[in-house]
Structure 1
Amino acid sequence: MLKREVQKGRAKMKKDVTIKEALFLLVVLLAMIGTLIIGFKLPAHVALLFALAVVFLFAGYKKVSWKTIQEGIQEGITPGLVPIIIFILIGALISVWIAAGTIPTIMVYGFSVLSVQFFLPTVFLICGIVGATVGSSFTTISTVGIAFLGMGQIMGLNPAITTGAIVSGAFLGNSISPLSDTANLSAAIAEVDLFQHIKHELWTVLPAAFLSLLGYTFLSFRATQTVAGDGIETISQTLHEFYTISPVTLLPVVVLFFAAWRKIPAIPTLLTSIVLSILVRYLYHPTTSLASIGSWIQDGYISKTGVANVDLLLTRGGMQSMMWSVSLILLALSLGGLLVKLNIIETILAQVEELMKTKSRLILMTALSSIGINLLIGEQYLSIILPGKAYKENYRKISLPDKYLSRTLSDAGATFNPLIPWGVSGVFIAGTLGISTLSYLPFAFFCYLVPLITIGAGFMKTKEN
């Protein structure tokens, strides 16, 4: 079936793309991107720009028209337009949450109940619970995630480790929430009941969560608390002095969580929370000028407490802070759109089908395909959709229940995406928390344990196979 679709897609090409050409191009792209980012430490933007140039040369070699190339770029960017608007709104939201006292309040309340010895496992569990409740890893990271990152830094913990715990917890919740878009998409692509999919997810999610919890507990006990208790007390006093610390300031968070739980679209939800945060600011600081509000939304909030740790943590946000992320996403989606338009991805997936004769091989190749699409395109939805559509019939040919397909797509597609520096999730996390993907990657235990456990489970005997 996939081969017929590939042949139709090649109709506009003057020459078919052979499997050797497709593999050669992918190897060149991955090697070049990896070398430039890791070896030469160039920004991911530059690496993707060079990758686009290579694909342009390949398209010229295959005599593909410029119109077709433009169509590929446009088709690649289109699915990312709504996430881009969401990113921009989250940048604005962060700044007004700080101005309203929302994030400082979460930090002060957190200091009163959390200790460094159990901080990381607690962060992992709370982010998991919040993620499962609201069904959105992005919402979890941009709300409690920011507060936890600030608390961890004040406690003297490595921010990359704290970010790893935040990301792991957020994607743990996202993978098992019935409100999650990626869980629903995985179930829909595999034609599986949503709750059957979630139940089957637990076989891989729970072991990964348990191992992650052990890892964060170990790291917490090894951590040295470089800020003494009186130091934390000083930070809390500073927050009380310069910010509004009140349960009322948490109202924008409550509204955001409620809207997510009710599955209200993200854009109106974020706009509502922004407006509500501004109203809370005016409630306690009625003399705030409109010019200040506009400056915070555009350029971010600038903390001026005079305490270096506080000012460093709470000087952030603004729509402009997300432009780095937006430009990287546009480049990544453009590259992905071209690879799809030129039938590079489909050609390889069609060839991979020939290797899928057993359960273990089928699950392995499905997982590797999702991971590969994440690496090449950086879009978590396509890492679910493309392998799901390509391999669905293969699961049925060997009588392997569709729930195995949905679980593999979710585990190796959506959950792996935050580990890619140019992936939509990785870019969002780096832009929101200010910690690079390669820095937190070693500590995002859950995100790489789940795909490994999924692949390993494929080699185990089951009642169905």
Structure 2
Amino acid sequence: MERTPSLPMALLPILATLAFLIVQLFYFGDFTPHIPIVMGITVTGIVGYLHGYKWQDIQEGIFHVISVALPSVSILLIVGMAVGVWIASGTVPSMIYYGLGLIDPAFFLATAMLLCAFVSVSLGTSWGTVGTVGLALMGIGSGFDIPAYWTAGAVVSGAFFGDKISPLSDTTNLAPAVSGVDLFDHIRNLLPTTIPAMLIALAIYVVAGFSVAGEGALSSEKIAGMTTGLEENFNISPVTLLPLLLVIVLAVRKMPAIPSLFAGVVLGGLIALFQGVGLHDIWTYAHSGYKIETSVSELDSLLNRGGVMSMTWLITLVLFALGLGGALERTKCLQVILQVIVSGIRSFAGLQIFSTFSSILTNAISGDVYLSITLPGRMFAPAYRGIRYSTKNLSRALEEGGTLISPLIPWNVGGAFVISALGLGIVDGTNLENLWYIPLAFACWISPLLGIVYALLGKFSPKASEEEVAQWHEKGEEIFETGLSDRK
């Protein structure tokens, strides 16, 4: 007979996983968290077995969570193909070339954030934006002698801003669905935190741009070398930008992300064919990534990437992290921990703050953004209804603790993708200074902070309307009378 674990037993798999990760990352100096996560799944399975769970039960929990995230895994594969093919077709090189000539270095960081925000809102995918436009911006930033972590911070701020509020985004649809909120009501309720956070981040990037951009002959010489290298090795033309334009147009017309991105891959391949690239070479670039040797080392390190195989490290991490999250959920370990948290809350402000932090905690423990939205959403929604506060507050907390924080946790699937796609060189234990992109992704952590401040002040924290309460009863939604007050 299945039994709910006690709090110490529920904490055991999580603490064990963290211990394994600490040994791997800091004792061995190995930044591959895969096997420690597998060991965490093992401990979770043992705890489940001791509490009456059969392996078939745990396996179903693991595969259920993995199946939910398979569309995002598919996006990773297509992004890998797009990067390899778009480099061969000249799409990425042309973006870098025109960017070096058109963008003022002093305003590069601000421009990078705004451009990624626009593309991400259009595509509805932060990963697609980071892996394509973000990669080109890394090249432009290198030409301006801007540290990689500053560029990565601006790219992440913009890309995940778009993922947070785009109606095409999977997480933007998931958060209100879990909370029982209308999609566009959810998006509108995000604006009081999202807009100020983006404006603050924009102001910081404008100010920082004047100090971090390279100056003088060194920067000019580097830019000249990169543009010459691009001209010598690629067909630089506005025509090569058509794959990106096609993807954006399809997204604006509300086509799903996967066929939109793949259409861009196909068009990029056709453009490469007309440039004389062999069909087999295009297939090779899509599978194994683009390879080139130029006289400019910066271009070589930037453009030797892409392909389906470049995503295998990340996809295996995604699968293992999702597996851990599914096992923890099926054995009710996370549920026990969250219930203990709920029992200690005494006000709406406390509920809102703990909803945000529970999403962040689930993000960090499970490594999965989807679980960080769904599990706290199911746990906390009845408590919001019990004190007659709109669950729009919850959906915002989930979005900000889940979507926005995921790229700031290096072992989370979002953080691992950013590190891998932008070539930050952290995976192999080198270039650890590039982890500074985490605090420099200002919009991602300022937004949840503003949400906490609003909860404490009672601002932008709507109570449930009579219509919303009636809908709860009509749908038979669970209402948990927690004894909380509606004090701020």
Q: What TM-score, normalized by structure 1, do the two folds share?
A: 0.91
Aligned partner of 1:204 in structure 2 is 193
Aligned amino acid, residue 16 of structure 1: T
Aligned partner of 1:136 in structure 2 is 125
Task: Give yes or no for contact 2:33–2:411 (8 Å, CA) kept in 1.
Answer: yes
Aligned partner of 1:3 in structure 2 is none
Task: Give yes or no for contact 2:75–2:128 (8 Å, CA) kept in 1.
Answer: no
User: Does residue 33 in structure 1 map to residue 21 in structure 2?
Assistant: yes
Task: Give yes or no for contact 2:17–2:36 (8 Å, CA) kept in 1.
Answer: no
CA distance in 2, matches of 1:143, 1:220: 22
User: Does residue 372 in structure 1 map to residue 372 in structure 2?
Assistant: no
Find 1:192's aligned residue among 181, 184, 196.
181
Find 1:245's aligned residue among 211, 236, 241.
236
Equivalences for residues 48-447 of structure 1 within 5 A? 48-62=37-51, 64-225=53-214, 227-285=218-276, 288-435=277-424, 436=426, 438-447=435-444
Structure 1 runs, 4 residues or longer, greater than 6 Å off: none
Deviation at 1:383, TM superposition (A): 1.5
Find 2:5's aligned residue among 7, 10, 17.
17
CA distance in 2, matches of 1:183, 1:65: 34
Task: Give yes or no for contact 1:128–1:169 (8 Å, CA) kept in 2.
Answer: yes
Deviation at 1:439, TM superposition (A): 4.9
Aligned amino acid, residue 445 of structure 1: F
Aligned amino acid, residue 417 of structure 2: F
Q: Deviations along 1:342-396, whole A, 9 cap, x unmatched?
A: 1111222233332333111110111111111111222222222222222112112
Deviation at 1:35, TM superposition (A): 5.0
Task: Give yes or no for contact 1:104–1:243 (8 Å, CA) kept in 2.
Answer: yes
Aligned amino acid, residue 23 of structure 1: L
SS in structure 2 at match of 1:434: coil
CA distance in 1, matches of 2:50, 2:6: 13
CA distance in 1, matches of 2:62, 2:186: 34
Task: Give yes or no for contact 1:100–1:277 (8 Å, CA) kept in 2.
Answer: yes
CA separation of 1:30/1:207 partners in 2, compared to 1, >3 Å: closer, same or farther?
A: farther
Q: Deviations along 1:214-248, whole A, 9 cap, x unmatched?
A: 33234322215164224312321221221111111
Aligned amino acid, residue 20 of structure 1: P
CA distance in 2, matches of 1:194, 1:342: 31
Percent identity, aligned pairs only, is 36
SS in structure 2 at match of 1:228: helix
CA distance in 1, matches of 2:248, 2:298: 29
Deviation at 1:40, TM superposition (A): 4.3
Q: What TM-score, normalized by structure 2, do the two folds share?
A: 0.86
CA distance in 1, matches of 2:236, 2:282: 19
Deviates more, 1:436-445 or 1:104-113: 436-445
Deviation at 1:71, TM superposition (A): 2.5
CA distance in 1, matches of 2:129, 2:55: 41
CA separation of 1:100/1:409 partners in 2, compared to 1, >3 Å: closer, same or farther?
A: same
Find 2:457's aligned residue among 446, 453, 460.
460
CA distance in 1, matches of 2:296, 2:249: 35
CA distance in 2, matches of 1:191, 1:254: 35
Task: Give yes or no for contact 2:168–2:256 (8 Å, CA) kept in 1.
Answer: no
Aligned amino acid, residue 322 of structure 2: L
Aligned amino acid, residue 418 of structure 1: P
Task: Give yes or no for contact 1:339–1:345 (8 Å, CA) kept in 2.
Answer: yes
Task: Give yes or no for contact 2:406–2:414 (8 Å, CA) kept in 1.
Answer: yes
SS in structure 1 at match of 2:236: coil
CA separation of 1:85/1:104 partners in 2, compared to 1, >3 Å: closer, same or farther?
A: same
Task: Give yes or no for contact 2:163–2:403 (8 Å, CA) kept in 1.
Answer: no
Task: Give yes or no for contact 2:367–2:411 (8 Å, CA) kept in 1.
Answer: yes
Query: Tell me, which stretches of 5 or more residues in structure 1 are unaligned?
Result: 1-11
Task: Give yes or no for contact 1:117–1:220 (8 Å, CA) kept in 2.
Answer: yes
Q: Deviations along 1:11-45, whole A, 9 cap, x unmatched?
A: x52x4311232134433433443453245432222
Deviation at 1:95, TM superposition (A): 0.7
CA separation of 1:195/1:84 partners in 2, compared to 1, >3 Å: closer, same or farther?
A: closer
Aligned amino acid, residue 248 of structure 1: V
* Aligned residues: CA RMSD: 2.2
Deviation at 1:154, TM superposition (A): 1.9
Task: Give yes or no for contact 1:37–1:47 (8 Å, CA) kept in 2.
Answer: no
Task: Give yes or no for contact 1:412–1:450 (8 Å, CA) kept in 2.
Answer: no
SS in structure 1 at match of 2:457: coil
Provide the aligned length of Structure 1 versus Structure 2.
451
SS in structure 2 at match of 1:178: coil
CA distance in 2, matches of 1:67, 1:381: 22
CA distance in 2, matches of 1:153, 1:408: 35
Task: Give yes or no for contact 1:359–1:458 (8 Å, CA) kept in 2.
Answer: yes
